[in-house]
Every structure is written in C-alpha cells, then in structure tokens.
Amino acid sequence: MPNSRLILNGNLSASNRIARQINRKLIFNQIRVKQPISRAELARTSGLQRSTVSLIVEELLTDRWVVEGSTGAIPRGRKPTFLNVNDQRGVLALDIHPAHAMLAVTDLGGNIVSLDSVKLPADPHKVIRAILNPVQKMLRAHPNRTFEGVGINVPGRFDPGQEKSIFAPNVGWPIGELKSRVEKSTGLSVVIDNVANACALSEVWFGYSDRMHDLVVVNVSEGIGTGIFANGHLLRGEAGVAGEFGHVQLDPNGVKCGCGGRGCWETIASNRAGVRYYAEIAKKSVSSFDDLIQLAKANDAAAKLALTKMCSALGLGMHMIALALAPGEIVVVGDITNIWELAGPAIESQMRHFPLVRAPSIRPAREGSRARLRSAVALIMNSKVL
C-alpha cells in the first residue's frame, strides 16, 4: 500500500501537529492492511524513521487502536513483536435506502461481523423509530465490543455542517433528524453523509484509490448519486450539494423524476429504470432489481437487453462526467456490479462512443454490493484524529 493512500482533512500546513496526524493515519493503515506486522517492517513500508514509528505505535497501543500479538522467530537478536488492529473495537454502519436499511457491526478494518436488514414502513412518522430499534438491539448483541461511533450513509444530500438534509427527492421521511435521534438513542457519536461521498472517502481510506489523483464514485441504486474526490479532498460545493449529476436532464421527453424534473439521468440509468425497461421488453414485470440480475445471469434475453439499455444510459452520463471533471477513474457502486461482465463493457462502450479528451478508467468497487456498508465505516474512521 503506497504511502499516498491516505485521506486528509482540511488544508495541510507545515505544523508538527498536522504532520503527526498524517503519520498516525499512515501507520494505522499500514497495520490494518498488513497485519500482523512488526515495527521494523512498518518503518520499511511507511518510509518513516524507526524512532517516529516506535513513538506512534506506543500511542496507538495506549489508545487501544492496536494490540501486540505473537513474536517472530529470527536467527539472532531481539525477536520482533507483531502488531494487529484491536478487533474488540468496532463501528456500527448504517446504510439507508428509500424503502429499507442495512445495518452492520464491523471491525476497524471494515470487515462485517454482524449484518441485518430493516424494512422501512410506509408511514414517514414511523421510519426513524423503525431504524432505532434494530440499532439498539444490535448494540446489545455485542456487549464486549467498544464502538467508535455510528457511520450513516443517506440518499440525497446532507449538509454535515448544518446537520440537515438539503436534497433527498427519493425519501419521504424526515431524514434530517436521523443524526440527532441516533446519537440520543445510542450515546455514540454519529457521522452522516451522502452515500456517494462516503463511498468516495472509502475508496481512499481503504487504499483502493491513490489520493494523488481525482476520482468520481457513481452510486447506482434507486437513484444515481456521485461523490467527487478532487485535489486531495471531497468536493462538496455550496451547502454540500455538489455532484448531483443524477438530476441533470438527458432526455427532455423522458419520464418524470422525483426531483420534479423530467428525463434526469437517474430516470434512464438507475435500478428503477432497469426494472422498467424489462417490463417494456418482456411485457411482464419483475419484483426487484436483484431478480432482474438473476434473470440476466440465467441468460434471459429480455433481462440482458434491459440491463444493457440501462448500462448504455449509465455510460452516457459518465461521458458527461468525464468531460466536466476529467477524473482519473470512475468507480461504480451498487448491485449492478454483481453482473459487471455485462455492465462494464456496455458502460464503457457508450462512454467512449462520443469524443473525449481523456477517457477515465472505469471499475466496480472492490466490495461489490457491500461497498456502501464499508463506506459508512470510512466516515467514522476518517472523522477520528488518530
């Protein structure tokens, strides 16, 4: 894992405090990725002086972020003691969709320990309580684990500074109240952000993308959201609403969108669009997008055609992103990654159908459909001053 694969908050300065925070994040991530690892190996892989590594490791041990494990066998000299991330500390990850939520307990490396799905009621006044009850139950089920906080992904745009929802056309309940209600219910700190922003942070925090180049995450779900990581940080824009490419009009005569517009990108390229295409082609409906994927995997011609049409529309929007932002790569998040052998070529073919100054690479998120949950972990880890 290269030294550059770190996420940095705010403006960098030459102060010792900022440099110390950067080095601590570097060392922690090296331990997380390469565990078990010795102090000597940390010095070699991080490029830091051994004295600096030793000091930071002692701080991480004192704070219980890491623990010492077994000792190594060497021909002579002092035997090295290996370090591991403390697996008794964890994060509660909450991934919100318009009609359901996924809840998970993870370790600090983002590995899922426990997983639950929650169906959200149609009554908007009952939704938050329907979320809080499983959250409390999940915490009670893990009494021996210390939780660093609750990371929450939400659809639409949430302004972390104002702690309120700014734009969530696919959600009909008071999503802006979620942060304060979860904090009050659990006593834990809560970090909440748009799911695409969280996924962009996750790509950098967990070391899949180099922070030295720009990337865009495209989250394909009931709608389409984009998270933009540029010049070493998230691009939020005024009031945190930057990146709403899903509501750029691509078809003036298209179907009505939840935002009030017509023919927005998400109306022709989201999971809902794929299900609609299948109904139009096969003259029958399918109950869910997952069922559509399963039909395509079973070589159903109508399902494959519907998904190809959806992915062509995704490629059309990504052409717009490539021209507007020129990212080094575009990372796709969502269930569509479960059939990437069909989706990837269709997306890329359409994106390259029109002229481009520079075509970014396109790839699926490494965790596939679980990328959203791991990104909720990244929200918490990125908020911590290690």
* Contacts by residues 58-61 (CB-CB < 8 Å, ≥ 24 positions apart): 59/24, 60/24, 60/27, 60/28, 60/31, 60/386
- Contact indicator for 166, 157 with CB cutoff of 8 Å: yes
Q: pLDDT value at position 14?
A: 35
Could you tell me the pLDDT band of residue 23, with boundaries at 50, 70 and 90? confident
Could you tell me the pLDDT band of residue 218, with boundaries at 50, 70 and 90? very high
Neighbours of 126 (CB within 10 A): 12
Neighbours of 334 (CB within 10 A): 26
- Contact indicator for 218, 331 with CB cutoff of 8 Å: yes
Give whole-number Cα distances, 270 to 61, 169, 222, 373, in Å: 45, 14, 6, 19
**Could you give the CA distance from residue 127 to residue 181 in angstroms, rounded to a whole number?**
12
Domain boundary among 85, 119, 134: 85
Over residues 215-237, the mean pLDDT reads: 90
Residues 345 and 225 in one domain: yes
Residues 134 and 152 in one domain: yes
Residues 182 and 323 in one domain: no
Could you tell me the pLDDT band of residue 182, with boundaries at 50, 70 and 90? very high
Residue 104 covered by a domain: yes
Nearest CA among 286, 285, 288, 282 for reference residue 302: 282
Give me the phi and psi of 96, to 5 degrees please.
Answer: -95, 130
Degrees (nearest 5) of the Cα angle 372, 158, 136? 60
Residue 5 covered by a domain: no
Domain boundary among 62, 85, 108: 85
Over residues 67-81, the mean pLDDT reads: 67
Neighbours of 27 (CB within 10 A): 28
Residue 4 covered by a domain: no
Residues 159 and 227 in one domain: no
- Contact indicator for 102, 95 with CB cutoff of 8 Å: yes
Give me the phi and psi of 71, to 5 degrees please.
Answer: -105, 150
Residues 117 and 252 in one domain: no
Domain with 78 in it: what CATH number? 1.10.10.10
Residues 179 and 291 in one domain: no
| 108-119 pLDDT per residue, tens | 878 889 999 999
Q: Which residue has the higher pLDDT, 276 or 202?
A: 276
| 338-362 pLDDT per residue, tens | 999 999 999 999 999 988 888 899 9
Q: Domain limits at 179?
A: 89-200+372-383
Residue 93 covered by a domain: yes
**Could you give the CA distance from residue 76 to residue 57 in angstroms, rounded to a whole number?**
23
- Overall domain count for the chain: 3
Domain with 163 in it: what CATH number? 3.30.420.40
Whether pLDDT at 160 is above 80: no
Residues 291 and 344 in one domain: yes
Tokens found for residue 198: 């969280």
Could you tell me the pLDDT band of residue 300, with boundaries at 50, 70 and 90? very high
DSSP for 200-231 reads HHHHHHTTSS-TTS-EEEEEESSSEEEEEEET
Residues 344 and 261 in one domain: yes
Domain boundary among 70, 85, 100: 85
Q: Which residue has the higher pLDDT, 98 or 228?
A: 228
Residues 127 and 188 in one domain: yes
Residues 224 and 294 in one domain: yes
CA of residue 271 relative to chain centroid, distance: 18
Nearest CA among 125, 123, 127 for reference residue 100: 127
SS3 330: strand
Residue 7 covered by a domain: no
SS3 193: strand
Residues 236 and 340 in one domain: yes
Residue 114 covered by a domain: yes
Q: Which helix (H) or strand (E) holds 282?
A: helix 271-282
Residue 289 covered by a domain: yes
Residues 138 and 40 in one domain: no
Residue 8 covered by a domain: no
